[in-house]
Amino acid sequence: MTQRPLSPRLSIYRWHPQALASIAHRASGLVLIAAIPSYLYVLNGLTGDDASFRATIALLQSPLSRLLLWLIGIALIYHLANGIRFLCLDTGLGEKREMLRKSALAMLMIAAAAAVVLAVVLI
Amino acid sequence: MKDDYLGAAGNGFGDWMWQRASAIVLALTLPFPFTLMLCLTGGHIDQQTLFDLLAHPFVRSAHSLLVMALLLHAYLGLKVIMEDYVPALVLRLPALLVAMLLALGTGTWALAMIWSW
């Protein structure tokens, strides 16, 4: 069987904002999937007895947790913003090439801004 | 054929629609637990306040809806990614089956927890 290319061939296309926004949507989605069990674990600890609550708060406040919450927050805000962009595209809003490029850049800038704001909140 | 847009299996619209329906639910609900985690990390909420919030009937319902939309959205997203990067059906189908079982198990546990407080 001949080796046919997979559809999004990340290694051969020239990078442009639209492609980066699209692959970042998938990457942030995977990060958020990984965050689901962590959220439920923390929720379970927070709603246990008093000792369990205090231990879970201490866990949340550890440097590693703050780093993870920072990453999850960037992924969440990016995925949310770009998801709304995708929903707009589904309705036919902003489908012109130049608009696609600009909105993709705007989403990436939102993620950068979220990284700064969340860093301030979490430190 | 008038149903061409549904694809060869005739049901291609379902995943697309559920992915977007769950997206809307998540866009409206997911910011709340994230903000809650930020507040808890900041040490601003004691356990009684947390229970009062989580055990409110409306919050329990919204929380349940969030968990179901989240796991459905996660499964559908994972499926789309794997359809692009895992072309071998012999790998993809078992992986998606495992993902679906994990989602169902996680969802059952989460819903039981949400309604236990």
- How is chain A split into domains, by residue range? 17-122
Judge: A61–B33 Cβ closer than 8 Å, yes or no: no
Full DSSP string of A8-44:
S-TTTSPP-HHHHHHHHHHHHHHHHHHHHHHHHHHHH
Judge: B40–A65 Cβ closer than 8 Å, yes or no: no
Domain count, chain B: 1
**pTM for this entry:** 0.91
Q: In which residue are the tokens 């089956």 written?
A: B97
Instruction: Name chain A contacts of B23, Cβ cutoff 8 Å.
Output: 83, 87
Q: Which domain holds residue B107?
A: 4-114
Q: How far is A49 from chain B (nearest CA, A)?
A: 9
Min mean pLDDT across A2-6, A45-49, A110-114, B35-39 is at A2-6
Query: What ipTM describes this predicted complex?
Result: 0.90
CA A47 and chain centroid, separation: 27
Q: How far is A64 from chain B (nearest CA, A)?
A: 12
User: The domain A17-122 is classified under which CATH number: 3.90.1150.10, 3.20.20.150, 3.90.110.10, 1.20.1300.10?
Assistant: 1.20.1300.10
Q: Which two tokens stand for residue A68?
A: 């993870």
C-alpha dist (Å) from residue B96 to A93, B15, B40, B99: 33, 14, 34, 5
**Planar angle of CA A52, B42, A76, nearest 5 degrees:** 95
What is the pLDDT at residue B14?
86
